[in-house]
A and B are shown apart, each in its own frame.
Chain A
Amino acid sequence: MEEMALVMNKVCKDFKVLNRHEGLKGSIQDLFSRDYKTISAVKDVSLEVKRGEIIGYLGPNGAGKSTTIKMMTGVLEPTSGDILVNGKVPYKNRTENCENIGVVFGQRSQLWWSLPLIESFKLLRDIYMVPQKDYENMIELYRSLVDIEPILHKPVRQMSLGQRTLSDILAAFLHNPAIVFLDEPTIGLDVSMKDKIRSLIKGLNKEKNTTVILTTHDMGDVDALCKRIVIIDKGTKIYDNDIEHLKGYFGSYRTLHMKLNDDTWESMLIDEKETDIMDVIMKKQKETKIKDIRLEEISTEEVIKKIYEGVAV
């Protein structure tokens, strides 16, 4: 078995798009225009992911995350560079690659819309040619991790968003793939459902040693699941290391919470290298009374925000 679940080497992806002109006249011009421009969605991204790792693949909207995932899953072919998933080139043999991966793509259910979940599972068992024994074991594992009874006989179309996401994640793991790609699995869910989904992913990763590539905007997901994060922005990889390591860069940052006279909390991010916290408190105290003070380490959320805002790491 390959040591690396995923290897990307200097991968680039360009798209050709038509230069659109503005206004009514522009629309008519476009009808005959040959004016294309090239957009680089992904630039020279290299990446190695070990078996059993969960990595958070982060970046602001339009950074090139989905494009990368689409290349990893074999749907898109890179313009240049190499990708190996489980030691194979994904887009060269899509079918073969699909046997060893699982995908949950945003809020788009991949299950048969009107079938009860259990029937979808059975069809997937046949599609992936999962031996009956393995299939039963997997369903048993599911039972031990999450309460699936209420949704097992429910058609997907009648499920709540949370149940649907849960079903999609279960379906993605059903054939015991080596890698699972999860694209924003907790988007739009309530807090308890988010917890349920996170512990399910963690449990499956632990039991089956499945590699998980997770894209998300929810730092709660990252904190709960990922040790390592990769950040890309404008198609380029800008960070690839542990979260702790990242926080180290921002070690001098503290979040200061102050409870003011009118019982409201005011929070601010302070770099201790540049500003003295006591100065801030004293300055504030001249304006109003401060009832309470709390000082925190920088949160992942704020670290990521700093990076998106362009702080060099």
Chain B
Amino acid sequence: MNPRKLFALTRAGIMESLQFRLGTFVTLFANLLYLVLVYYLWKAIYASSGVDVVNGMTFTDTMIYLILATSLFNFLEMFVVWDMSRSIQSGKIILDLLKPMKFRKYTFWSYSGSHVVSFIMTFLPTFVVVMIITHGAIHMGINLLWFIISTVFALIVNFNIEMLVATLCLYTESTWGINIVKETIVLLLSGASIPLAFFPEKLREVVQYLPFRAVYDIPLTILLQKNGSDTIEGLLPMFALQVIWIVILTAAGTLFWNYSVKKITVNGG
């Protein structure tokens, strides 16, 4: 596949996202307000606990972790499941399937444009604000590079999870139901709503090996240089986990998708 063609999809996506104008500012503003909520809650939580460090996380660590998790969430939010179910119910999916490109590939690159925009419009400003407020609590070194690499991995893992769930739309019209289950599980087990460091020991051991952690926890742990990720020995297992899950999920997702498309005749109903 010609990379120029793929980037053309990215570019089209960027332009489409920018058409949203007023919406872009509103999103930015709403995100900031949400972060304020997170800030006050955890400030109160740490103040009430009377200690500075809980489970290896200081207030600043927790804040950075949660704020960046939130903006990663917005950055990774794809609505693939909703879009898919709509295009199945309207029968539009047929047209997408006829495009001269593998459907999964096409979908991934179509969304990539809005990812670029939301990275610049939401993640980057948030990152800068966090950096200024915390006076350099984020180490500015090679970890930034590792962070970006693992974020790209996270994006692919997340896309694969979305596509797996979206494929279910071929079987049921209960989009709300399957989407909320997915969202709930991903948000809880990836550490997006509460850092994994706070999880009870037993639960953490299990969660550690699941793919959800590869979406939020690993990039953020690498950025904050926790759990030994400032050394190559600490870093490698994390990247390995992400890559292994990418391979497993891509294979499973492709198989499931091809099988389902073959099996189900879409008739717009």
Residues of A within 8 A of B (CB): 18, 20, 23-24, 27-28, 30-31
Contact = CB atoms under 8 A, between A and B. Distances in A.
Given A27-B14, A31-B24, 9 more contacts: A18-B21, A20-B19, A23-B15, A27-B15, A27-B18, A28-B18, A30-B19, A31-B18, A31-B21
B104 interface: no
Contacts, number: 17
B-side binding surface: helix, strand, loop or mixed? helix
A30 B21 contact: yes
How big is chain B's contact interface, by range?
A: under 10
Contacts of A20: 19
Nearest to B20: A31
A-side binding surface: helix, strand, loop or mixed? helix
B11 interface: yes
A28 B21 CA distance: 9
Pick the 7 closest A-B CB pairs, nearest first. Answer: A27-B18, A27-B15, A31-B21, A24-B15, A31-B18, A28-B18, A24-B11
Interface of B: 11, 14-15, 18-19, 21, 24
Contacts of A24: 11, 14-15
Contacts of B24: 31
6 contacts: A18-B21, A23-B15, A24-B15, A27-B15, A27-B19, A30-B21
Contacts of B15: 23-24, 27
A25 to B, nearest CB: 10
Nearest to B15: A27
Contacts of A23: 15
A163 B11 CA distance: 43
B23 to A, nearest CB: 11
Nearest to B11: A24
A20 B19 CA distance: 9
Nearest to A29: B18
A20 B11 CA distance: 17
A30 B14 CA distance: 13
A310 to B, nearest CB: 34
A13 B11 CA distance: 36
A214 B21 CA distance: 38
